[in-house]
Amino acid sequence: MDLETESSPSAEAPPPAAASPSPHDAKVGEIRDLILDKLRHTVGKSVTTATTHDWFIATALSVRDKVVESWLSSIEETKRTGRKRVYYLSLEFLIGRLLIDSLTNMELIEPTRAALAELGVDLETLREVEPDAALGNGGLGRLAACFMESMATLSIAAYGYGIRYDHGLFRQRIKDGRQLEYPEDWLTFGDPWEFQRLEIVWSVGFGGRIEAELGPDGEIKQVWLPAETVEALAYDTPIPGWRGAHINTLRLWTARALDPLRLDQFNSGDHIGALMDRVRAESISKVLYPGDTTAAGQELRLRQEYFFASASLQDLVARQMRLHGDIRTLADKVAIQLNDTHPAIAVAEMMHILVDRHDLPWDDAWAITKATFSYTNHTLLPEALETWPVPLIERLLPRHMQIIYLINALHLERVSKAADATGERLAALSLIDESNGRRVRMGHLAFLGSHKVNGVSKLHSDLMKTTVFRDLESVEPGKITNKTNGITFRRWLKEANPSLTALLTEVTGDRLLDDAMVLERVAAVADDPAFQERYAAIRRANKMTLARIIQERVGVKVNPDAVFDVQIKRIHEYKRQVLNILEAVAIYEEIRAQPFRDWIPRVKIFAGKAAASYTTAKLIIQLANDVGKVINSDPTVRGLLKVVFLPNYNVSLAERIIPAADLSEQISTAGMEASGTGNMKFALNGALTIGTLDGANVEILEKVGEPNIFIFGLTAEEVEAKRSQGISGQDAIARAPKLAEALESIASGVFSSEQPDRYRGLVDALTYHDFFLVTADFDSYYHAQRAMFKRWRDKRAWWRSAILNTAHMGWFSSDRTIAEYADEIWNVAVTPPGRA
């Protein structure tokens, strides 16, 4: 070093070095440049001409690029290690919007927000532009989505398999109080998250005949020659886990005809007839749950279920052969989970593939099938345990009917050797129900073809053993196990309620979303007045947001300081929205008759869809709207009670409602709700539950403690005892004057003056044939509501209970549920987040 020059005052000082951008600023700049590149070169727009939707597409594609890098690495790592894969077959995947979800799990949300702000774009505005993916209906599909996210978070190599529905279930509109159904249009502008795999196309056959051929080994081989073939095209969506450590694939199938049109017919002038094959094929992936009240509707349902099961099994078996070269090791490398009974035909399809295409002996194929499959049951309702007419399966899937008959024959041959094998018992154990025409019991097929069968709450799993699978459990004891459902906290806490997440993180530390059990630390501050005040302020801000949504969507102004009493779920008689409505009517009558009482303001919020062919459920929606119309416009109520029904319930609407709820209505008839996951989402966000001892409510009670939940009504055992004595509601109504008055108001047309007898049939059913025991539970429910109000008046007690609900929800993380599946059913290893 030249010290003289270094210190010389005449030497020219070098210019100061430019400050290096911080890592955060560098990331923001990188994301900004990537969004601009996508806007220009993929969307084909300039900054000055781009619409909000253009910005959404550009942003989604830039995020997708980040996801893809980790996705490809995850795929290569799984190939390299040769580890076992899980395949989750579900007719529904209610994944909702993916922009915020992907940004959250890739830990890019704040730099992306900053990058967009530099471009004059608001991330929250883009959030609202994205349509919900119309791939599900209710809890079944949302559970599948939570499980896919948790499998990725725990670095389990997994594929989700389902159908890419063009128009989903339906878009719900309410007109004159009635539900109207319209096709969902979520794919109108395409889906920026998916990749069409043009090279992945599987042929799925229907109909035709079976021919017996003599094989080279002298054995007779059954050869199925389908009369119709439909192509299944693959679309892949990457599903990132928390912190982006592992990315899994959701592969959805769309149906396509072999030929786009019959050119000979078209040229002969039959332009419509030329397209009939295409229309028939593509109808398979048009809508979720097409109406099945007609023979054609039933056939389409079965075609859907077989289409996606066959394509999925062909796909995973081809991957097994490509990577491992031996079909006999399938159960060592593959675990297939059937999400409810819809994919049960996959058991017969796997036997078809192993026996007919890979020439395995029957016993070997059956052993591999049972070791590979496991089955989750989601319902005890007989109508939800699918059965299909034997003639329909014989016509549509003749080889599979043959396989089912053989499975059944071998099964009955084995169980008939038992000492108690009476004709009645064998009929109950048979795959073929002959009580009302021959029908295949798909639940029995899934049970027999699986090595494990699980329920989704402790109560549900116990009831499975004594109700729907009582006989099968007796011949295969120990097969039924429990896996209580869970929810992903990344979606239902961090994304839905970021302000609450930030507050909780101050107590738990930043491991909250890695290990949900650290929420237990929050219990220590449940009595802290300062924490309660901040917790309550977050709730009120969320209620203000929801109040604006209610006013925008249904034109009803609500008080954010009122109790937000919420029931959002599929509309069904067993979920008992009508019980909630009856209590609203009873309170309405009391407010008018006793205006001098110190009433606590309350807003009853309903949302949910009724199946298009479920007349009673649709009538319940109309009743909720009619009751709301009268109550909301009655000046004597003075705004103390409001009833609102928010149309077109979906994941994004739930993300706005749940963080704003004070009271969570989980009021199904005990013994009829398998689990529920809405109950967990509400409790996590601090809503107190009012509910029966049904589904996961039982376990929520165990975790949060009796003082912090409002339990009412008959137990599952009491429900059965009550039904055995008769299901008339007359005695209960006679003992409950408030109920009698509410029913008379509804029946006499107080809420339907233009059609006074509109609800007479509904009231008569409750009076004389109350199968779901609404009347029997009314008084208990009414008093539980009064206990809720007493707690609400004591604000410190209320917020203490709310905070303790949040604190004790860690066990209900879907990460816990999936870890149990992995260990006890799938036999795969997990890597907790942060350790990948």
Q: Which residues are tagged catalytic?
A: 378, 569-570, 575, 677, 681
CA distances 114 to 80, 106, 110, 122, 696, Å, are: 38, 15, 6, 9, 40
The one-letter amino acid code at 638 reads R
Question: How remote is the C-alpha of 513 from its chain's centroid?
Answer: 21
Closest CA to 254 of 278, 289, 282: 282
Q: Answer for the pair 539, 563: CB distance below 8 angstroms, yes or no.
A: no
Tokens of 158: 């997994």
Would you mind telling me the total number of residues written for the chain in this entry?
836
Cβ-in-10-Å burial (0-12, 13-18, 19+) of 23 comes to exposed
Tokens of 176: 């004159």
Q: Answer for the pair 818, 151: CB distance below 8 angstroms, yes or no.
A: yes
Instruction: Give 694-760 as a DSSP string.
Output: -TTHHHHHHHH-GGGSEE-S--HHHHHHHHHT----HHHHHH-HHHHHHHHHHHTTTT-TTSTTTTH
DSSP code, position 561: T
Q: Could you report how far apart the first and last alpha carbons of the chain are, in Å?
A: 48
Closest CA to 440 of 493, 400, 380, 487: 400
Gap between the Cα atoms of 421 and 435, Å rounded: 18
Closest CA to 99 of 134, 69, 141, 67: 67
Tokens of 828: 């795969």
SS3 state of residue 607: strand
Q: Answer for the pair 779, 739: CB distance below 8 angstroms, yes or no.
A: yes
Gap between the Cα atoms of 253 and 316, Å rounded: 13
DSSP code, position 693: S
Gap between the Cα atoms of 380 and 467, Å rounded: 8
The dihedral sign for the CA sequence 393, 396, 402, 407: negative
Torsion of CA 65, 67, 73, 78, to 10 degrees: -140
The set of residues, in sequence order, having a beta carbon less than 8 Å from that of 819 and lying 6+ positions away, is: 154, 830
Strands (E), 546-701: 563-568, 602-607, 641-646, 663-666, 688-691
Residue 482 has a CB neighbour count (10 Å cut-off) of 17
Q: Answer for the pair 624, 776: CB distance below 8 angstroms, yes or no.
A: no
Tokens of 26: 């560098």
Gap between the Cα atoms of 523 and 800, Å rounded: 9
